[in-house]
Amino acid sequence: MHPGNQAHLQVQHKGLLTMSIMAAMVMQVLDTTIVNVALPHMSASLSASPETISWVLTSYILASAVAIPITGWLADRIGAKRLFVLSVGTFTLASILCGVAQNITEMVLFRAIQGVGGAFLGPLAQTLMLDINKPSEQGKAMSVYGMGVMIGPIMGPIAGGYLTEWFDWRWCFFVNVPVGIVCVAGLLALLPEKELKRRDFDLFGFSMLALGLCGLQLMLDRGQHADWFSSTEIWVEGAVALCGLWVFMVHTATARKPLFAPELFRDRNFASAAVFMFIIGMVMFAAMALLPSLLEGLFGYPVVETGEILASRGVGVLLTMAISGRIVGKVDPRLMVASGFALSTLSLWMMMGWSLEQGWMPFVITGLIQGLGIGLVFVPLQVLAFGTLPPTSRTEGAAVLNLTRNIGSSIGIAVVVALMARNSQVSHADIAQNVTPANLPLDPSQLSRFGAYGDAILDIVDGMVNRQAAMIAYLDDFYLMTIACALAIPAAFLLRKPKPRKPGEEAAPMISE
């Protein structure tokens, strides 16, 4: 075996260990979407208002956002194996507690604990998949990891719909328990411990980052309810986010031992990959967040059928990730990233032509194309990002990439939801101006003569106007996402190809273009 083509972490039974690692990862990403479907049922059971029940999601996101940045430090301090086992155990135990919660206060607390446990699973799973595979096999490893990351948002609504409809919303949490137990057993038996490193903890940097992320997440989550910057609350949260993140960036650039190693951001490929992960989160995850409400709210599909229609994205992701993992070492990965964004742009452009009269087939076709694009982007982007980093920086790098993707998805979802609400009102006003006696079979002012029947006719007309206005607002969002995705196509060539590693080299040097 070539000495430069050895795995950083030698393991036995690599297949079984891979299954344990990925089961934990899939459990975590599935849980972030499976709960969304159960929220209405949860609200009634816990006697919570629509506004307070949203904290079931917010508490998880906040706790996860705060915990992700310390993944690298904790892994070095207590060991990746101990941290992974502890995370899976915490996530599983918190799932049980969420399943037996009796009121909204308990649910929010247990979801926050679950968020802390789940925060470390993504970065650790990504790092370990790279560590246990040889450099020549890391493309395939990242395709397996990518399937777990991307398939969760697709399969979550399906699983949540079936569990909620056939059993009870509490099973959306209980389903994690057997998976978590098997994962812990597999990790304890098969995963070797990595060497521990003593690192100082940048408490000030972490505090500023945590403060900034909390302010940002709260602003994005509460913005639509509080009418954005018409509210003092949103101004305060925005100021906290801006100040916290600004101080953190200045501190990172000037401190002797910052929370994140400055070398990460001096690596052009890694820094560019972090930007692309932000775009992926902002555009592609925002599209996934919009579609369930579109299908259920405007087209009237039940939740189970909605999940089945959206599953076409998962099929596309599986196809191209399986292929890209095999060809990433033979084809210019930058070309693969650009092609993936081009396919995603095509799908979003096709979505701009949707109408209320169409059937289910356009949803499936565009979903399949978008899934193909996601699969082409994700694997080569991971290979490019980590191809120039030393193995010792992988956990910290994975934490940064997961964090940027999460921030991108939060911002993207908040932006498209806010624009949809605003554009719906604008479109409603524009359409209503044209609802006049000249283009109606009956003068609306004369409907009062028919009593309740006249009111019913007006309600029907208003409902039709509302549906058309909402559809226009969705199309406006797709237009915006099409532009953002298209701009990423030429930017893919700002990345540089990593050169194959030579014996004794920890990270591959860049090929100058």
pLDDT tens digits for 163-176?
777 777 788 888 88
CA angle (438 as vertex; 436, 443 as ends), nearest 5: 65
Task: Please tell me the predicted confidence (pLDDT) of residue 323.
Answer: 82
- Calculate the alpha carbon distances from 248 to 201, 211, 310, 356 in Å: 14, 10, 39, 47
Question: In angstroms, what is the C-alpha Rg of the chain?
Answer: 24
Mean pLDDT of all residues in the chain? 77
pLDDT-derived band at 213 (thresholds 50, 70, 90) equals confident
Asked if residue 425 has pLDDT above 70, the reply is yes
Asked if residue 424 has pLDDT above 50, the reply is yes
Q: HSE (CB half, 13 Å, CA atoms) of 228?
A: 7
Task: Please tell me the predicted confidence (pLDDT) of residue 191.
Answer: 77
Tell me the mean pLDDT in the region 355-377.
86
What is the 3 state secondary structure string of 433-461? HCCCHHHCCCCHHHHHHHCHHHHHHHHHH
Highest-scoring range by mean pLDDT, 18-22, 290-294, 346-350: 346-350
Nearest-angstrom CA–CA distance, 162 and 35: 12
Nearest-angstrom CA–CA distance, 149 and 155: 11
The three-state secondary structure class of 365 is helix
pLDDT-derived band at 264 (thresholds 50, 70, 90) equals confident
Tens of pLDDT along 384-407?
777 777 777 777 777 888 788 878
Task: Please tell me the predicted confidence (pLDDT) of residue 349.
Answer: 92
pTM given for the model: 0.74
Asked if residue 450 has pLDDT above 60, the reply is no
Task: Please tell me the predicted confidence (pLDDT) of residue 510.
Answer: 38
Task: Please tell me the predicted confidence (pLDDT) of residue 37.
Answer: 66
Tens of pLDDT along 63-91?
887 888 888 788 878 887 888 889 999 99
Task: Please tell me the predicted confidence (pLDDT) of residue 90.
Answer: 92
Tens of pLDDT along 484-512?
888 888 887 777 665 544 444 444 433 33
